[in-house]
Amino acid sequence: MSQLLDAIQGVVNAAEPLPGLVTGGQPSLAQLQAFKRAGGQAVLDIRDPMEPQPFRTPDDVTAAGLEYARIPVSAATRTDATLAAVRAAVQSAVGKKALLFYCNSGNRVGATLVPYLMLDRGMDETTAVELAMQCGLRSAEQLEWALDFVHRQDNG
């Protein structure tokens, strides 16, 4: 287990699918601070702004010394543009800065990570879905959305 993953111990569905990319459900402020101390540099929050947070975003996150980005993923934002934005955010971080990528439970994180895993990392569908499930993916509907996006990118 890496120091980054150790730092967020207790986060629902905490995982490190790729070196320096830590994923999971909603962290506490103390877990964010521990992530920073372990070498964390950035946070990608895909929760809707209307979802309750245990701390003030982005203020408490940036005060902890972390970069903060929010790309809301909800039924209202289930679009190609949303998946493309999440993919671009992950592309810009992986291998460059330690990123904590979270939602409420990890379900949306797992789903929105699938396009990056398949299109940028070259994973086959089975491997990408297994990794996404380790990150918390549970929704067939979310998975179908992500895979549809991937297949249209491959054929486009």
Q: CA–CA separation, 7 vs 10, rounded Å? A: 9
- Determine the 3-state secondary structure of 124 from DSSP: coil
pTM of the model: 0.96
Q: Give the model confidence (pLDDT) of 44-75 as tens digits.
A: 999 999 999 899 999 999 999 999 999 999 99
Question: Would you say 6 and 65 are in contact if contact means Cβ atoms under 8 Å apart?
Answer: no
CA distances from 3 to 12, 23, 57 (A): 17, 13, 24
Q: CA–CA separation, 126 vs 8, rounded Å? A: 27
Look at residue 155 in the predicted model and tell me its pLDDT: 76
Amino acid letter, residue 152: R
- Domains annotated for the chain, with CATH where assigned, are 3-155 (3.90.190.10)
pLDDT (mean) for 140-146 = 98
CA distances from 19 to 22, 26, 135 (A): 8, 20, 14
Look at residue 114 in the predicted model and tell me its pLDDT: 99
Q: What is the enclosing helix (H) or strand (E) of 15?
A: strand 15-18
Q: Give residue 106's pLDDT band: very low, low, confident or very high (50, 70, 90).
A: very high
Q: What is the enclosing helix (H) or strand (E) of 57?
A: none
Q: Is the pLDDT of residue 148 over 90?
A: yes
pLDDT (mean) for 26-54 = 96
In 10 A of CB 90, how many CB atoms?
22
Q: Is the pLDDT of residue 116 over 70?
A: yes
Helices (H), the chain: 3-7, 29-37, 59-63, 80-93, 107-115, 125-134, 140-155
Look at residue 156 in the predicted model and tell me its pLDDT: 64
